[in-house]
Amino acid sequence: MSATRPAPVAIDDLAAPRFPDDACAIRDAMADMGAAVALEPDALMAAAVDQAGVDDFGDQAFHERLDVVCTALRNDVVLSPAGRAAAFVQLTELLRNRLLVQDLLRRHPEIDELDVRAPIVICGLPRTGTTHLHNLISADPAIRSLPYWESVQPVVREGAPDNRIADTAAALYVVNTALPYFKRMHEMTADEKHEEINLLAMDFSSMYFETMAPMPTWQDYYRATDQTPAYEYLERVLKVLQFLRGGERWVLKSPQHLEQFGPLSRVFPDATFVVTHRDPVSVTASLVTMMTYLARLNLDTVDPHVVGGYWAERLETMLGACVRDRDLLPADRSIDVRFTEFMADDVATVERIYALAGQPFTADVEAAMDAFMASHPRGRHGGVVYDLSQFGINAGERRRALQFYVDRFAIAAES
């Protein structure tokens, strides 16, 4: 199997992106749109109302947060015309989803009586095995997970056809056309299991917005704000999804959970928490590469030192929060999973998590996980060569700066 996998690639156009011909036509069309839109709360909300056909956004506190996001997009970064269009579409989509969720709650107040019972919450940085772990647990038919199409469009407008899977596939076609190497770092399909960061973003209080572009203004605001209300909103949306498509026990996952142990444990007091760990220098190398590669979708000019430096620093603050707050998680319902141990025996790791969570691990569950791995072999799209020097980052300096985390969780260094 390994002999058929594509060879690793070194991405050599991070600072001067080259787009495939097919992507250029798409970007030209988006640029025309970008020249005509305004990244202002009133314009975004009006567009969302037009799409949703309803005008009740629910709790109005999100207005302030939306304004901070728009201010950061205008002042912290220089978006390309295509990037402006993409930002307008993304923000409008979040507002439209909020409207549709609020409308469904109005029509079905019994939704609030549902319980989000004892979720399994994966907390870890990208590149630490969270996606593989999430996919394995999601393969269990007894566990409720979130497909990407549902995270992008949780609710359909009343009376409208349900085209969510096709719409999501079309949007991913645009991304994969513009970013042919992205699937080597993080494969996404319409029905692939996804994290709930899109749902948190509907309350406009999430790390989601930092993935659009490095935005210090938003980061400072977000980190200074108690995220408990945002997680309460997430719980409410999960109830909506249970009402629409069933499910009794969720598996949740998002990198931002790593610095939100307090809000998480308050809103989901019966949850089981899985904290994943990996050599932070290896994680830094892959994360800054992925985020700099993604930046070409939105930024007029991509400076790998700026984008890479932003995410290297962001990773450090998140690990600092993890070390600071790890003991806020209940000792009898939390587990630390190290990447090397997980990769050595992934199914056995899931079995340990299930034992802690009181979730049955049967022969059928193990067979479902084996079937998933057989159909999704790791590295099937090939790998990427990571080189921190492209970002002006010194590996030795990073290792010294992050030693506090390595020592706290006894993390093995990788070559």
DSSP 366-394: HHHHHHHHHHS-TTTT--B---GGGGT--
Mean pLDDT within 379-406: 94
Task: Look up residue 109 and give its two tokens.
Answer: 């107040």
- The rounded Cα 65 to chain-centroid distance in angstroms is 19
CA 285 to chain centre: 18
Find the mean pLDDT for residues 203-213. 96
pLDDT at 379 over 80: no
CA of residue 279 relative to chain centroid, distance: 20
Q: Does some domain include residue 379?
A: yes
CA distances from 265 to 287, 337, 356 (A): 27, 18, 16
Query: How many helical (H) and strand (E) elements, i.e. helices and strands, does the chain have?
Result: 19, 4
Q: What's the pLDDT tens digit per position in 36-76?
A: 999 999 999 999 999 999 999 999 999 999 999 999 999 99
Residue 317: phi and psi, rounded to 5, are: -65, -35
Instruction: Decide if 38 is inside a domain.
Output: no
Give the residue carrying structure tokens 């070559």.
415
pLDDT of residue 188: 87
B/e letters for 302-325, b = 16+ CB within 10 Å, e = fewer, are bbbebbbbbbbebbbebbebbeeb
Residue 235: name the closest of 193, 206, 264, 205 by CA: 264
Helices (H), 10-163: 21-34, 41-52, 62-75, 81-107, 130-138, 148-152
Q: Please give the average per-residue pLDDT across 168-182, as a whole number.
A: 93
Q: Distance between CA 273 and CA 318 in Å, rounded?
A: 16
HSE-up (13 A, CA, CB side) for residue 369: 23
What distance in Å separates the CA atoms of residue 169 and residue 325, rounded to the nearest whole number? 38
Mean pLDDT, the chain, integer: 95
3 has pLDDT over 70: no
What percent of the chain is predicted at pLDDT more than 70? Answer: 99
Q: What 3-state DSSP class applies to 312?
A: helix
1 has pLDDT over 60: no
In the predicted model, what is the mean pLDDT of residues 185-190? 88
Q: Is residue 188 domain-resident?
A: yes
Mean local confidence (pLDDT), 260-266: 98
Enclosing H/E stretch for 170: helix 164-178
For range 299-314, the mean pLDDT:
97
What's the pLDDT band for 380 if we cut at 50, 70, 90? confident
Residue in the block written with tokens 């949850």: 271
Give the span between the Cα atoms of 79 and 298, in whole angstroms: 6
Residue 247 is predicted with a pLDDT of: 95
pLDDT in tens, 68-121: 999 999 999 999 999 999 999 999 999 999 999 999 999 999 999 999 999 999
Burial of 361 (0-12, 13-18, 19+ CB in 10 A): middle
Q: Which segments of 211-303 does DSSP mark as H helices, in order? A: 216-223, 228-245, 261-267, 280-295
Residue 2's pLDDT is what?
45
- Range ranked top by mean pLDDT from 170-174, 175-179, 240-244: 240-244
The answer to whether 146 touches 264, Cβ cutoff 8 Å, is no
3-class DSSP state of 283: helix
In a domain, 328, yes or no: yes
Residue 274 within a domain: yes
The region of weakest confidence among 39-48, 184-193, 228-237, 241-250 is 184-193
Q: How many domains does the chain have?
A: 1
Three-state DSSP class for residue 187 = coil
Find the mean pLDDT for residues 201-225.
Answer: 96
Q: Which residues contact 236 (CB under 8 A, 6 or more apart)?
A: 101, 105, 111, 112
**What 3-state class would DSSP assign to 335?**
strand
Q: Furthest-apart CA pair in the chain: how many Å? A: 58
Average pLDDT value for residue range 12-23: 94
Q: Do residues 365 and 377 lie in contact, with contact meaning Cβ atoms separated by under 8 Å? A: no
Mean pLDDT, residues 154-165:
96
pLDDT, position 344 = 94
pLDDT value of residue 68: 98
Evaluate whether residue 81 is within a structural domain. no
* CATH code (residue 326): 3.40.50.300
Q: Which domain holds residue 265?
A: 2-11+116-409
Q: Of all helices (H) and strands (E), which one includes residue 276?
A: strand 272-277
Dist. CA 400–CA 395, nearest whole Å: 9
Inform me whether the pLDDT recorded for 415 exceeds 80. no
**Is 65 domain-assigned?**
no
Residue 109 forms part of a structural domain: no
